[in-house]
A and B are shown apart, each in its own frame.
Chain A
Amino acid sequence: MDDRVIVRICSKILTPFIMIFALYVQFHGDYSPGGGFQAGVIFAAAFILYALVYGLARALRVLPPVVPYICGALGLFIFAGTGFVTMALGGNYLDYDVLAHDPSHGQHYGILAIEFGVLVTVFGVMVGLFYAFAGRRRS
C-alpha cells in the first residue's frame, strides 16, 4: 500500500478512464488504429496500475490470479472457436462471409469476435505475467 496520497487518488481516478479507453481502442479498431492486442495491454495496465499503487495483495483480491489464467486460454478458445463456427456454417476455417446473410456483415461480426478473443487472451497473459513476476519474493 502506497502512502502517497496524490499517487493513490490519481490512480483511482484514472483507472476507469484507462478501462474505457481500452474498450474504445478495441471497438473503434475497425475505423482507427488499434485492436485487440493494444486494447488488451491497456486493459491489463489498469489492473497493473492498481497493483503497483495499492499493493499486490489487494489486487489479488480484486482480480484473483485464476481469472487472468482462464482469460489467457479463453481468448484463444474464442478465436479458434470462431473458425470452427464458420466451418460449421459451411465456409472455410475463419472465413467470416458465412456468419451473416450479407458477406460484408459477416466479416464485421467475425472480426469483432476474433478481436474480442485477442483482447481476452492478451489481457489475461499480461496480468498473469505481472502476477507471476510480482508474486515472487526476494530471497
Chain B
Amino acid sequence: MITVVDITLLIMLAVTAVAVVRVRNLFGATMLMAIYSVLTAGLFVTMDAMDVAFTEAAVGAGISTILMLGTLALVGSEEAAPRHRPIVPLFVTVVTGAILIYGSLDMPAFGNPDNPAHQHVAPYYLEESYDEVGIPNIVTVVLGSYRGFDTMGEVAVVFTALVGVLLILARGRSDQHRTVDLHPSAFEADTGTPASREELDAEGREGETDHG
C-alpha cells in the first residue's frame, strides 16, 4: 500500500517538476512549486518524518509561495522567451542526474536498521533520551537539548536572512517603512544633476584637506 502511495507521489512530483519548467506564466509556475512542496511533504510523511513534512508544508508551500507572489507583483508574471535553445544546460543536467543516480546505487537500502546512519548516535538517542530528558518527541529533544548549539546557529541564520533582506530591500526609517527603489530609472533620478555631483566632489576634497 505504501509503495503505491510512494509511486503515485513520485510520479506526480516528476510531472509537477516538468510542468514548472514548461510553464511560461510565472504565476502558474509559483503555484506548481507550491504543489511540488506539498507533494514533497507527503513523501516525508510516508517516510515517517513528520516534523520535516510539517516544516516543508508550512515553509515550502506557504511562506515561500507568498514571497514568490510578492516578487511577481513587482516584476510581472510573464517569463521572457529564452534567447537560445537550452541544449548545453540540458546536457549538463542529464549527466549530473545520471551520475547522482549511479552514486545512489551504492547507498544502503532505505530504512535498513544496519545502515551507518542508524549506528552512530541514533540508538543512544532512541534508548536514553526519555530517561535523560523526559520528553517523548525525540526530534524535539535532539533539536533542543543534544544539538542545542546547532539549533542556535540555525536561529542565527534565520535572523541573518532578515537582516540581509532588510539591508537590501528596506533601507530607510523603519517607523514609516520607507523603501528604496532599486529600478534603474530610479538610479538615474537619484544620481542628480552634474552640478550636485561637482558639489559632492568639492565636499569630498574639503574633507580630504581637513584630514591632511
Contact = CB atoms under 8 A, between A and B. Distances in A.
Interface of A: 25, 29-35, 37-38, 41-42, 44-45, 48, 52, 60, 64-66, 69, 72-73, 75-76, 79-80, 83, 93-94, 96, 103-105, 107-108, 110-111, 114-115, 117-118, 121-122, 124-126, 128-139
A26 to B, nearest CB: 11
Contact of A110 (B145, B179, B185): B145
Nearest to B130: A104
A107 B133 contact: yes
Contacts of A105: 134
Contact of A132 (B135, B152, B158, B166): B166
Contacts, number: 164
Interface stretch (B55-63, B96-104, B108-116): B55-63
A66 B175 contact: yes
Interface of B: 50-51, 53-55, 58-59, 62-63, 66-67, 70-71, 73-74, 132-137, 139-141, 143-145, 148-149, 151-152, 155-156, 158-159, 161-163, 165-166, 169-170, 174-175, 177, 179, 181, 183, 185-186
A115 B174 contact: no
B152 A45 contact: no
Given A29-B140, A30-B136, A110-B144, A128 B73 contact: no
Contacts of A108: 133-135
A33 B51 contact: yes
Given A107-B145, A125-B159, A38 B55 contact: yes
Given A83-B152, A114-B144, A133 B58 contact: no
Contact of B177 (A37, A42, A135): A135
Contacts of A94: 148-149, 152
Nearest to B59: A41
Given A45-B62, A115-B144, A132-B170, A72 B162 contact: yes
